Amino acid sequence: DNCARWLGPGDPESLSAALATRFTQVFEREAEGVWFAPGRANLNGEHIDFHGGRCLPMALRHGTYVAAAAREDGLLRVRTLDSQLDSGIIEIHDDAGSPAEANFPSWTTYVWGVLQSLRECDPEYDELHLRSGFGADVLIRSTLPIGAGLSSSASLECAVALALVGTGSPLGEEHGGEDFTRALTDELRAVLAQVCIRAETEYVGAGTGGLDQTASLRGAAGKLVSLDCRDFTVKRSDISFLLRDYRFIAVETGQPHELADGRFAARRAESEAAAALLGVKQLREALPEKPKKPNVELTLEEFDRLVDEGGDLGGHDAGACRRRLKHALTEMLRSEKIHKLLFGEAHGVDDTAEMIGDLMAGGHTSMRDYAEVSFEVADRMVETALSAGATGARLIGGGFGGSVLLLVRKNRVDAVTAALTKLSEQLRFLDAVPSAPARAV
Ligand code: GAF
């Protein structure tokens, strides 16, 4: 029998109402609203967003809820209800520098970083500008497992961005509730994604690439996002035909990951050394508009030739740089193939699923052997899921921990989850349902 542990997303309306009630207890005043931003699962395109590659994420039903009310004294008072992180209200004074310097818990830097970054928002978008002296009381609750490779950090940033804009900007003053969500055009969402990306790269100091924030702010219900990271344009593909017979399931490995812990940055630096040797800023430039396998092979040969000639890799190991390069280029190719599958000629449901499944398997192998960000539990889970009848399985996110994404025919879900639960009863499953992006709730 199957005792798989499922992690439900909860009901947004009740979660929002409960958070507003808690807000009143915690801050002894009423919240002006509650905002939500989802986590994401990425079908393909890992470790290539910062190289201008194509990513294929979906926004999840699980994410971060933020209740907030404005303050006019510039003070930021924040609290999380996550039992592992909660240490009561934390007061961040605007002129006191980064919370990290004050030894506040690391999650507070994300909140503070979004506030700083919003203040530097492109002057063209004055509807997003926070009034001077703006501060806020902020209460946070997440339905995403933290550090599970499902973008808990980005979903926190995006939910906070909406809450701050919702309480402190002209857009928020003019529009409340559903009206606020409607007023957030795709253009404004793209601007807010950049705000959150800057919060993470400049204020938190994690050199990530923008996939997560874009998925959270610009995903769509029932749709997979095809994100071209050269210019952050998105196309959305309705995959409801696939979801009639198949399910995407994320399985949390129980091994948490930290993007700010240095290993992610080390992998990125090796791939950037390869790019520099090839004379490009981002590795996507090393491939033509419509890349094919021979283009990947030629680029690898070119890399080998440059290494043989004594080319400069900034002190990085040539073998490691080559493996990062190979991962990035083949991952880009897999993304283009899935993009073509979704937007090109239609195939039958099972054929489409099989083709996506094969590409997922290729993606996992590449994460394991070339990006070298996988780990034993994830490898075993992928193998087990595939032998138990999953159509596709791969590690997603930054790696070194996190989650595996499965594509499973509905009639095989029980068999697959039972086989995985036999591996470890600690695993947690969540339905990866492509859902609406960040919004007021
Ligand atoms: C993390 C990063 F935040 C993203 O930008 C992306 O690089 C991903 O790892 C790997 O694809 O989620």
Q: For 27-40, write each residue's pLDDT tens digit.
A: 999 999 999 999 99
Tell me, yes or no, if 137 is annotated catalytic.
Answer: no
Q: Extract the tokens encoding 440.
A: 């007021």
**26, amino acid identity:** V
Give me the pLDDT at residue 257, please.
Answer: 74
Q: Indicate if ligand 1 lies below 6 Å from the C-beta of 372.
A: no
Contact status, residue 268 vs residue 316, Cβ threshold 8 Å: no
> Could you give phi then psi for residue 236, rounded to 5 degrees?
-125, 130
CA of 193 to the centre of ligand 1 (A): 14
pLDDT of amino acid 172: 97
| Closest residue CA from atom 9 of ligand 1 | 398
pLDDT number for residue 284: 98
CA distance 7 to 168: 34
Instruction: Give the type of residue at 254.
Output: G
CB of 47 sitting under 6 A from ligand 1: yes
ipTM over cut 0.85? yes
The gap from C-alpha 259 to its chain's centroid, in whole angstroms, comes to: 11
Ligand 1 and 397: CB distance under 6 A: yes
Which token pair is 278? Answer: 């090839």
Q: Mean pLDDT, the chain, as a whole number?
A: 96
Per-residue pLDDT at 416 exceeds 70: yes
Say which of 1, 49, 212, 304 is annotated catalytic.
212
Mean pLDDT of 134-149: 95
Does residue 259 line the site of ligand 1, with CB under 6 A? yes
* Predicted pLDDT at 262: 85
**For a pocket test of ligand 1, which of 42, 43, 46 has the largest count of ligand atoms closer than 8 A to its C-beta?**
46
Local confidence band at 193 (pLDDT 50, 70, 90 cut-offs):
very high
By most ligand atoms within 8 Å of CB, the mutation choice from 56, 144, 212 for ligand 1 is 212
The helix/strand/coil state of 15 is helix
Distance 149 CA to ligand 1 centre (A): 9
Over residues 387-401, mean pLDDT:
96
From 60, 208, 400, mutation site for ligand 1 pocket: most ligand atoms within 8 A of C-beta: 208
Which ligand 1 atom is nearest residue 206's CA?
Answer: 3
Identify each DSSP E strand in 281-383 by its residue range.
none
Nearest atom (ligand 1) to Cα of 398: 9
Does ligand 1 come within 6 angstroms of the Cβ of 200? no
Q: Is the pLDDT of residue 96 over 90?
A: no
SS3 sequence of 356-401: HHHHHHHHHHHHHHCCCCCCHHHHHHHHHHHHCCCCEEEEECCCCC
Does 123 or 304 have the greater pLDDT score?
304
- Give the full edge-to-edge strand order of the sheet including 90-92: 90-92, 76-80, 135-142, 57-71, 33-42, 439-440
- Is residue 231 helix, strand or coil? coil
- Atom index in ligand 1 nearest the CA of residue 45 equals 11
**Number of other CB atoms surrounding residue 103 within 10 Å:** 7
3-class DSSP assignment, residue 57:
strand
CB distance 401 to ligand 1 below 6 Å: no
Give yes or no for residue 259 having a pLDDT over 80: no
362: its two tokens:
């290729």
* The residue to which tokens 């430039």 are assigned: 285
Tell how far the Cα of 415 is from the centroid of ligand 1, in angstroms: 31
pLDDT at 77 over 80: yes
What integer pLDDT is reported at residue 260 of this predicted model? 63
Q: Ligand 1: does its nearest atom lie under 6 Å from the Cβ of 208?
A: yes
Taking the centre of ligand 1 as the mean of its atom positions, its distance from the CA of residue 3, in whole angstroms, is: 31
151 CA to centre of ligand 1 in angstroms: 8
Let me know: does 128 contact 192? Beta carbons within 8 Å.
yes
Q: Please, which residues bridge with residue 248 across strands? A: 407
Check pocket membership of 204 for ligand 1, CB cut-off 6 A.
no
- Closest residue by Cα to atom 1, ligand 1, is 398
Q: Is the CB of 147 inside a 6 Å radius of any atom of ligand 1?
A: no
Q: How far is the CA of 75 from the centre of ligand 1 (A)?
A: 31
Q: What is the mean pLDDT of residues 418-426?
A: 95
The verdict on the CB of residue 223 being under 6 Å from ligand 1 is no
* pLDDT tens digits for range 146-192: 889 999 999 999 999 999 999 999 999 999 999 999 999 999 999 99
Task: Write the pLDDT tens digit of every residue in 300-346.
Answer: 999 999 999 999 999 999 999 999 999 999 999 999 999 999 998 88
* DSSP type of residue 66: E
CB 178 within 8 A of CB 16: no
* pLDDT of res. 255: 84
- The predicted structure's pLDDT at residue 303: 98
| CA of residue 373 to ligand 1 center, whole Å | 12
